[in-house]
Structure 1
Amino acid sequence: MRTPDELSEAGFRSLYRHLRDTAPGGGTRRGALDTISAEQVLAAVREVRSGRTVSLAAPVNTHAAPDDADPAEHRLTAPADGEPDPTGVQFARDRIAMNIHGDVNSHIDALCHVIYDGTLHGGIPAADALSPDGASALSIALARDGIVGRGVLLDIPQLHGVPWLEPGSQVTAEDLAAAEAGQGVRVGRGDILLVRVGHRRRRAELGAWDVADARAGLHPAAMEFLAEREVAVLGSDGNNDAAPSAAQGVAFPVHVLAIHAMGLHLLDYLRFEDLVPLCARDGRWSFLCVIAPLRLPAATGSPVNPLAIL
């Protein structure tokens, strides 16, 4: 892969302003979700051929690892001590707690997740919208009725003939366009764009590593491709952002551009390993996609288990 150019701070801010002012979700209350019309949902339903469903989420991680110092906690709360009575009726119960925005578990970012220059998406002052009780604006409740549309998977490692992109690799707009051409699909208005970088496969085969220092993701300039195609949602099997960052002074430039400037909900750390062989077998890389966040009225995101329906 060609190493794309680094963006200066001034260059990043120029790109930010351009996407904020031109992207279809920039500044609207629901962001880019407004690009999905009822007609597009019906068209996405017609993508279904076999009726097979595939989860795009990874199993919830409950073990500490180099990329997850704060794993989810799961424990049985009843029966006490795990010892059921030999007679009568009882109920097994459990409790789970998790850091929604970790670096392993699949989740969706709300539009209130990114604070940039003291504001949220649409210029809302962060100090007015965020408190210890949660977010009073732009929370994940915007997606409480679910996100349903045409999912499109672009497999960037396949494009380059490798099982995964090495940490630090940056996916460019040229990569996205070449993957489209190679896979015979075209990303369009209201689509849920899923970009595979192979993060999950690398982790499964080589083990976990500190992704804060190195991970594959999109180059900030690739967001122009999404703006031009009027994409509704962006997801990846990684963090969407690469590390090290290609933008000087901005650690998560894709998050800033996608969420803050363009109003895109992001899906981080998905898993595509069950979906890829089915798409390759059928020669079809688009499908009905259903995303149902939890009903968390004031949350900055949610655990999520998106479904591809083929």
Structure 2
Amino acid sequence: MNDDPRGATAPPPPGPRNGPAVSRPEFDALFERVRAWGRWTPADRGAWNRVTADHVLRATALVRSGTVVPMARPWDTAPAPDNAKPALHYMSDLGDTETPEPSTYKDFVGADYHGKGVSHLDALSHIAYRGRLYEGGAARESTGAGGARFGSVSALGPLVTKGVLLDLPAVLGVPWLEPGQAVHGMDVVTAERALATRIDEGDAVLLRTGRFRRRRERGAWDLDAASAGLHVDALPLLAERGVALLGGDGDSDVRPSPVEGLRSPVHTLAIAAMGVPLLDNLDLEALSAACAEAGRYEFLLVAAPLNVPGGTGSPVNPVAVL
């Protein structure tokens, strides 16, 4: 394999635990099982409505050392197998356009951030299943050239709650999960026990697969072809626990998808059925080290997406405080 992350590489073969396969009728039954429509007001904040002032106060009690860990990737302007649409960064003022002092230096940044290159949040307008967004509205009637009129990222605001890191490589004693390896519901329970934590209502759950350690050591690969992530059989447990936010160092979905004819089934269940926004492409390596040093995998999490009216998501830099 080419170890240069800027060069094209063949994707690694899927890992050994991608199954079991799920038929579309089985998936549709699962969708109905976890569906949480009509539960909250305002509806387009979805599961973030679970987080109350009491949740925030309990989360702040987890701050003991004051260690602050950012989780966003660097703004990546280089094309790579996992960055098909590189971010933009250029200078718009080099101090040579104004006569009076002081001179100024300005820059522009931009990104088509839904993908594998930018750390970002998916709002509830990002995913529709069978033409319906979360709460059942027709996606084509709610979203147009001017953006989303329901489920916009601007409806969410900041989230402050307890974060739980499911550090699967630490639990399994491996540097990373191989691309294509699925994390099942039973693996989530095993991780809770091994890490002495528990997912509770209103929590933000972050799954570390070790993607970025593998990327640094082995080079970039096409995550659409193969990536470690959650199997759909883990979603009923997360729905039962009442999570408010789900994220990870991939995009939460195991790939190849275990569901026939459905590209992103975890996205579909979390966003369109459960009303749970997603955090994609977080670099969790520093958080893994900080949690191991602290001997605990719970922390205060702050996620503040950009206030973009009509936006289907936002680049974001979530922060963990231990």
Q: Give the TM-score of the pair, scaled to structure 1.
A: 0.94
Matched, 1:16 2:34: no
> What are the superposed Cα offsets for residues 4-50 of structure 1, whole Å, 9 maximum, x if unpaired?
31101111111011111599779944211111111011110111001
Report the counterpart of residue 105 of structure 2 in structure 1.
Answer: 92
> Is the partner of 1:137 in helix, strand or coil?
coil
> Structure 1 residues 113, 3: CA separation in 2 closer, same or farther (over 3 Å shift)?
closer
Bigger shift: residues 160-169 or 297-306: 160-169
Aligned match for 1:76, one of 76, 82, 91: 91
1:6 aligned partner: 21
Kept in 2: contact 1:200–1:238 (CA 8 A): no
TM (normalized to structure 2)? 0.91
**How far 1:3 moved relative to its partner?**
4.7
- 2:239 is matched with which residue: 227, 230, 237? 227
Which secondary structure state, in structure 2, belongs to the residue aligned with residue 287 of structure 1? strand
Cα distance in 2 for residues equivalent to 1:47 and 1:199: 27
Q: Classify 1:71/1:239 alpha carbon distance in 2 versus 1 (closer, same or farther; 3 Å).
A: same
Q: Deviations over 1:129-153 (max 9, x none)?
A: 1011100111001222x00000010
Structure 2: distance between partners of 1:170 and 1:296: 34
**CA deviation profile, 1:252-288 (whole Å, cap 9, x unmatched):** 0000000000000000000111111111111111011
Q: Which residue of 2 aligns with 1:212?
A: 224
The reply to whether residue 138 of structure 1 matches residue 151 of structure 2 is: yes
Q: Equivalents in 1 of 2:40, 2:320: separation in Å?
A: 24
8 Å CA contact 1:30–1:142 kept in 2: the answer is: yes
1:297 CA drift (Å): 0.8
Partner of 1:240: 252
Query: C-alpha offsets along residues 30-73 of structure 1, whole Å, 9 cap, x if unaligned?
Result: 21111111101111011100112110111111001111121001
For the 8 Å contact 1:216–1:242, the answer to whether it is kept is: yes
Q: Which runs of 5+ in 2 are unaligned?
A: 1-15
Residues 175 and 27 of structure 1, relative CA distance in 2, 3 Å threshold: farther
Match of 1:170 among 179, 182, 187: 182
Q: Which residue of 2 aligns with 1:294?
A: 306
Q: Given residue 69 of structure 2, which amino acid in structure 1 is its aligned partner?
A: V
Aligned to 1:305: 317
SS in 1 for 2:35: helix
Q: State the match for 2:12 in structure 1.
A: none
Instruction: Count how many residue pairs are aligned between Structure 1 and Structure 2.
Output: 307
Question: 2:37 touches 2:135 (CA, 8 Å); kept in 1?
Answer: no
| Pairwise CA distance, 1:109 | 0.1
Give the structure 2 partner of residue 263 of structure 1.
275
CA 1:42 to 1:107, structure 2 compared with 1: closer, same or farther past 3 Å? Answer: same
Whole-angstrom CA distance in 1 between matches of 2:37 and 2:93: 54
2:106 aligned with 1:106? no
Contact conserved, 2:17 with 2:180, CA < 8 A, in 1?
Answer: no
Q: Which amino acid aligns with 1:9?
A: R
Distance in 1 (alpha carbons) for counterparts of 2:40 and 2:68: 29
Aligned to 2:129: 116
What RMSD over aligned residues (CA atoms) do the two structures have, in Å? 2.0
SS of equivalent residue, structure 1 residue 274:
helix
Q: CA deviation at 1:184?
A: 0.5
* Aligned position for 1:191: 203
Superposed displacement of residue 161, structure 1: 1.4
What CA distance in whole angstroms lies between the structure 2 residues aligned with 1:220 and 1:23? 23
Please, which moves more after superposition, 198-207 or 19-28? 19-28
Paired residues of 1:26 and 1:122 also in contact (CA < 8 A): no
Q: Which residue of 1 aligns with 2:77?
A: 62
Per-residue Cα deviation, 1:115-174 (whole angstroms, up to 9, x for no partner): 211111110111111011100111001222x00000010101112211111111110011
Gaps of 5+ in 1: none
Deviation at 1:85, TM superposition (A): 8.8
Quote how far apart the aligned CAs of 1:227 are: 0.7
Q: Which residue does the alignment assign to 1:149?
A: 161
For 2:35 and 2:150, locate their aligned partners in 1 and report how far apart those are by CA, in whole Å: 19
Q: Is the aligned partner of 1:46 residue 2:61? A: yes
Cα distance in 1 for partners of 2:195, 2:68 equals 21
Aligned twin of 2:49: 34
Asked if 1:202 is matched to 2:217, the reply is no
CA distance in structure 2 between the aligned counterparts of 1:182 and 1:261, rounded to whole angstroms: 30
Quick one: distance in 1 between partners of 2:248 and 2:72?
11
Could you say what secondary structure the match of 1:270 adopts?
coil
Given that residues 23 and 262 in structure 1 are in contact (C-alpha distance below 8 angstroms), is that contact kept between their aligned partners in structure 2? no
Structure 1 residue 210: deviation in Å? Answer: 1.0
